[in-house]
Amino acid sequence: MCGRFTLTQSPSAIASALGLPDLPAFAPRYNIAPTQPIVAARMAPNKAEPEMTHLTWGLIPSWAKDSKIGAKLINARAETLSEKPSFRSAFKRRRCLVIADGFYEWQKLTIGKQPMYLSLDRQPFSFAGLWEHWQSADGSEVESCTIITTEANDLMRPIHDRMPVILAPQDYDLWLDPQSGSDRLQSLLRPYPAAEMNVYPVSAQVNNPRNEDANCIVPMASQDSGVIVSSVAPIQNSK
């Protein structure tokens, strides 16, 4: 799954690295949590190029009676997107890129749950996402999103059996194209290569989403965290 992530690079650096339009201004984020605003790219109606926008993390289906359902729909399983009523319409018509440069997962150990930080050498990347437009009975509107997950790769498997789908930049156009067929889209929803990812333990301060500073991603020595390095192998892949 994916329950917390980071976006710490500058908007201009992210746009340049990912080949995306200029991003909206935002402060570095070290502990992004569900129900908070996130930065995303999507195809807007009657536009030929992606637009950058803010969406609320936690998808609210257009037919929902209560926006609170979004807190339960922060992730969507790749294997069932075409079947689940909450996601199948968005999968067909409203796909997005959720911009990030790392994410957290909690590894179960005998001493408790150890937060781990995973990244692509701290380089910006995009999760595969879906978005929806929701309007309440009183007319208030929310645009929200979910992050798609798939089975874990070899790096992630000792930590969790699921991981967010990270898309390669050359697949962005296909993912965002409204005309893309479901078979081609499903082919993109695979585990990211483990050899291109890094992981290390971090402080338990990330457990509280109110903690939002660079200390969240500072590596914690294994003797301090209780992590046995061999149990999380590899902590960092060699390139």
> Is 237 contained in some domain?
no
Question: From residue 44, how far is each of 40, 93, 96, 125, 126 by CA, in Å?
Answer: 12, 11, 10, 21, 18
Q: pLDDT of 133-185, one tens digit each?
A: 999 888 889 999 999 999 999 999 999 999 999 999 999 999 999 899 999 99
Q: Residue 59: what are its φ and ψ, rounded to 5°?
A: -70, 130
Specify the CATH number for the domain of residue 69.
3.90.1680.10
> Is 50 contained in some domain?
yes
> Is 112 contained in some domain?
no
Q: Residue 15: what are its φ and ψ, rounded to 5°?
A: -60, -40
Q: Which residues are catalytic?
A: 2, 105
> Is 214 contained in some domain?
no
pTM of the model: 0.91
> Is 203 contained in some domain?
no
Which DSSP helix (H) or strand (E) runs through 119?
strand 112-119
80: containing domain: 4-104+123-193
The pLDDT of residue 1 is 76
pLDDT band, residue 48 (cuts 50/70/90): confident
Question: How many structural domains comprise the chain?
Answer: 1
> Is 226 contained in some domain?
no
Q: Would you state the structure tokens that stand for residue 210, as one six-digit string?
A: 């109110």
CA angle in degrees (0–180, nearest 5) for 217-42-177: 125
> For the residues of 80-115, what is the DSSP string, one character each?
GTTT-TTTHHHHHH-EEEEEESEEEEEEEETTEEEE
